[in-house]
C-alpha cells in the first residue's frame, strides 16, 4: 500500500482532546494536500474524529474550521493554482471558502468506535492509561479486516507492552506529538523491533510532510521527553522540600520556581511547567514510569498531597492556565498554594524577602525571551554559568546545581539506552520544551 492509500481512511481516537484536536488538524491538512494531487484523483479520503462527547466534537469542528481557514488565507496563491479549473471561483475568498469546505468534508465526527473498523491508520490520543489504550486497540483490531497501523501518542507507556497486550503483531509505534501538536515542531518516534520497514518509512514521511522534527527514542517508559522532565520536576520538588528547613514551603516553591525560570533562563519555572502539564498528569506519568525503573523511585508525596486536596492545574478549553501549585492571573503566577493552610498565599506577602534571599541575577544572565532569539545562545548561556560559579548568592548556587542535575539526567538517558545520543536529548529539550540552551553540555561542569 502506498503513502496516499494509507491515508485514505484515518481515525483519530480522543479527537476532541487538546492533543487529539491538533493531531486531527494536522491529519486533515495532510490528507487535503494528498487529495489535491492529480494522481490521487478519485480516491475517497475519510477522516474519522472519534470522541466520547458529542458536545466536545461540536466544539472541535468549530476549532478545526477556524484553523483551516487561517491556513487557507496563508495559501491563497497556491490554492488559486489548485482550483484553476474552477471557473466559478472568481475572488480569493471564493477559492478559500472552497478549500475550507473540501477539507471539512473529509472529517466525520462521531462517538462510536465502530467508525474505526474500516480505517487503515489509527491515531490514538486518549488519556495516558495503558489498559484503556489496550482495550481500544484490541477492539478495533479484532473488528477491522484491514490490519491497520496504530500510531499512539503515549508519552510514557512502553510500546512493546501495548503491542503484546493488544496482540497487534508489530502494527503499532509511538508517534508522540508535543503540546500543542499543531504548533510544536517535535515528534518523538518510538519504534519496536516488530515494526515493518514500510511502517517506519511511512511514519518518517508523514512526520516530514507535517513539517516535524523527528527524534527517535528507544522503547523505555517515559522515552526522552518525560524521561527528562519527570526527573527534572522531581529534583525541583525535592529541592523545595529541602529548603523547608530554612523557610516555609510556599516560599521555597517560589524560590525554586524562580531559579528554574530566571536563573536557568527557561520559558517557565518548574512548578509552572508542572501546572501547565497538570499536577494530576505529572503524578500519573510518574506512576506509569516508576515500575520500569530499577535503580530509582519516581514518586512525590507532595504531588500526592496536592492531588488529594484537589490541586490539579492543567488548562481550560481555551488554553488558559488553571490554578495549580501556583495561582494565575492573566497567565502569570501571583500566589503559591500552601499545603499547611489549604489556601493560596500571594507573592506580595513574601516575594521581596525571597528575592533578597536568592540574591540578584548575575550581569551575564539573559531572559529566556531574549536568549532564545540569539544565534549565540549556547555561548551566552555559558557566560551566565561562568558568573554563577563566581557568585556566592543562593540563587546562583541553586541554579548551578540544578543545571548540573539536568545534565546528569540527560547523560543517564543516553547511558540507559533511552536516547541514542546527547544530541537527541538536547533536540528534545530545545524543540519540545523550548529550552534556550542544551542541557547536556560542558559549561555547567567546568
Sketch the domain layout of the chain as residue ranges.
3-216, 225-432
For 434, the 3-state DSSP assignment is coil
Q: Supply the Cα-derived Rg of the chain in whole angstroms.
A: 24
In tens, the pLDDT along 394-415 reads: 999 999 999 999 999 999 999 9
How does residue 317 score in pLDDT terms, banded at 50, 70 and 90? confident
In the chain, the N- to C-terminal Cα span, in Å, equals 54
- What is residue 332's predicted lDDT score, i.e. its pLDDT? 95
- The C-alpha cell at 317 is 478549553
- Tell me the mean pLDDT in the region 12-27: 96
Question: Environment class of residue 416 by beta-carbon count within 10 Å: exposed (0-12), middle (13-18) or buried (19+)?
Answer: middle
Domain 3-216 sits in CATH at 3.40.50.720
Q: Quick check: 51 and 17 in contact, CB under 8 A?
A: yes
Beta-bridged to residue 321, according to DSSP, are: 315
The pLDDT of residue 320 is above 90: no
Q: How far apart are the C-alpha atoms of 104 and 194, rounded to whole Å?
A: 35
- What is residue 40's predicted lDDT score, i.e. its pLDDT? 87
- What is residue 318's predicted lDDT score, i.e. its pLDDT? 74
- What is residue 1's predicted lDDT score, i.e. its pLDDT? 58
- What is residue 38's predicted lDDT score, i.e. its pLDDT? 87
In tens, the pLDDT along 100-148 reads: 999 999 999 999 999 999 999 999 999 999 999 999 999 999 999 999 9
Contacts 24+ apart (CB under 8 A), 299-306: 300/234, 300/237, 300/238, 302/237, 302/240, 302/241, 302/339, 303/237, 303/279, 305/339, 306/279, 306/337, 306/339
In tens, the pLDDT along 267-313 reads: 999 999 999 999 999 999 999 999 999 999 999 999 999 999 999 99
In tens, the pLDDT along 221-237 reads: 999 999 999 999 999 99
In tens, the pLDDT along 175-215 reads: 999 999 999 999 999 999 999 999 999 999 999 999 999 99
- Strand order from edge to edge, sheet including 46-50: 107-110, 46-50, 9-13, 121-124, 149-152, 172-177, 186-190, 213-216
* pTM as predicted: 0.94
Q: Quick check: 252 and 258 in contact, CB under 8 A?
A: no
- What is residue 319's predicted lDDT score, i.e. its pLDDT? 77
For 41, the 3-state DSSP assignment is coil
In tens, the pLDDT along 38-60 reads: 888 888 999 999 999 999 999 99
CATH 1.10.1040: does it fit domain 225-432? yes
- What is residue 64's predicted lDDT score, i.e. its pLDDT? 97
Averaged pLDDT score across all residues of the chain = 96
- The C-alpha cell at 34 is 494528498
Q: How far apart are the C-alpha atoms of 334 and 145, rounded to whole Å?
A: 55
- What is residue 446's predicted lDDT score, i.e. its pLDDT? 80
B/e letters for 245-260, b = 16+ CB within 10 Å, e = fewer, are eebbbbbbbbbbbbbb
In tens, the pLDDT along 421-438 reads: 999 999 999 999 999 999
Phi, psi of 146, deg, nearest 5: -90, 0
The pLDDT of residue 328 is above 90: yes
Amino acid at each position: 500500500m502506498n503513502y496516499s492509500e494509507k491515508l485514505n481512511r484515518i481515525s483519530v481516537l480522543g479527537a476532541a482532546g487538546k492533543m487529539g484536536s491538533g493531531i486531527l488538524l494536522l491529519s486533515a491538512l495532510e490528507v487535503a494536500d494528498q487529495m489535491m494531487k492529480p494522481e490521487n484523483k478519485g480516491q475517497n479520503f475519510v477522516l474519522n474524529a472519534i470522541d466520547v462527547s458529542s458536545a466536545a466534537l461540536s466544539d472541535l469542528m468549530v476549532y478545526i474550521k477556524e484553523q483551516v481557514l487561517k491556513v487557507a488565507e496563508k495559501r491563497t496563491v497556491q490554492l488559486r493554482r489548485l482550483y484553476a479549473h474552477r471557473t466559478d471561483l472568481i475572488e480569493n475568498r471564493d477559492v478559500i471558502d472552497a478549500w475550507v469546505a473540501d477539507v471539512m468534508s473529509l472529517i466525520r465526527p462521531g462517538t462510536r468506535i465502530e467508525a474505526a473498523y474500516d480505517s487503515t491508520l489509527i491515531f490514538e490520543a486518549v488519556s495516558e492509561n495503558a489498559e484503556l489504550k489496550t482495550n481500544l486497540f484490541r477492539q478495533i483490531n479484532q473488528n477491522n479486516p484491514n490490519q491497520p497501523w496504530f500510531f499512539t501518542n503515549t508519552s510514557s507507556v512502553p510500546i512493546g507492552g501495548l503491542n503484546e497486550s493488544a496482540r497487534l503483531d508489530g502494527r503499532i509505534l509511538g508517534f508522540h506529538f508535543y503540546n500543542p501538536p499543531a504548533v510544536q515542531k517535535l515528534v518523538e518516534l518510538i519504534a519496536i523491533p516488530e515494526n515493518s520497514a514500510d511502517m517506519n518509512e511511512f511514519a518518517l514521511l508523514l512526520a516530514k510532510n507535517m513539517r516535524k522534527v523527528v527524534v527517535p527514542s528507544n522503547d523505555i517508559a517515559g522515552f526522552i521527553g518525560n524521561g527528562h522532565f519527570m526527573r527534572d520536576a522531581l529534583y525541583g520538588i525535592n529541592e523545595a522540600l529541602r529548603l523547608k528547613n530554612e523557610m516555609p514551603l510556599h516560599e521555597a516553591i517560589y524560590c525554586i520556581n524562580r531559579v528554574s525560570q530566571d536563573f536557568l533562563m527557561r520559558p517557565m519555572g518548574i512548578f509552572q511547567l508542572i501546572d501547565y502539564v497538570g499536577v494530576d498528569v505529572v503524578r500519573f506519568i510518574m506512576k506509569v514510569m516508576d515500575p520500569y525503573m530499577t535503580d530509582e523511585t519516581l514518586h512525590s508525596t507532595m504531588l500526592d498531597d496536592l492531588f488529594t486536596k484537589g490541586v490539579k492545574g492543567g488548562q481550560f478549553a481555551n488554553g488558559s492556565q488553571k490554578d495549580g501549585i501556583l495561582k494565575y492571573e492573566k497567565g502569570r503566577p501571583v500566589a503559591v498554594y500552601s499545603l499547611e493552610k489549604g489556601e493560596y498565599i500571594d507573592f506580595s506577602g513574601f516575594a521581596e524577602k525571597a528575592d533578597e534571599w536568592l540574591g540578584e541575577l548575575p550581569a551575564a544572565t539573559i531572559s529566556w525571551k531574549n536568549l532564545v532569539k540569539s544565534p549565540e545562545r549556547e555561548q551566552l548561556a555559558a557566560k551566565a554559568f561562568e558568573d554563577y560559579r563566581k557568585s556566592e548568592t543562593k540563587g546562583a548556587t541553586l541554579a548551578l546545581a540544578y543545571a548540573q542535575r539536568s545534565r546528569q539526567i540527560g547523560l543517564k538517558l543516553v547511558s540507559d539506552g533511552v536516547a541514542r545520543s546527547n544530541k537527541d536529548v538536547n533536540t528534545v529539550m530545545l524543540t519540545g520544551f523550548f529550552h534556550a540552551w542544551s542541557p547536556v553540555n560542558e559549561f555547567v561542569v567546568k
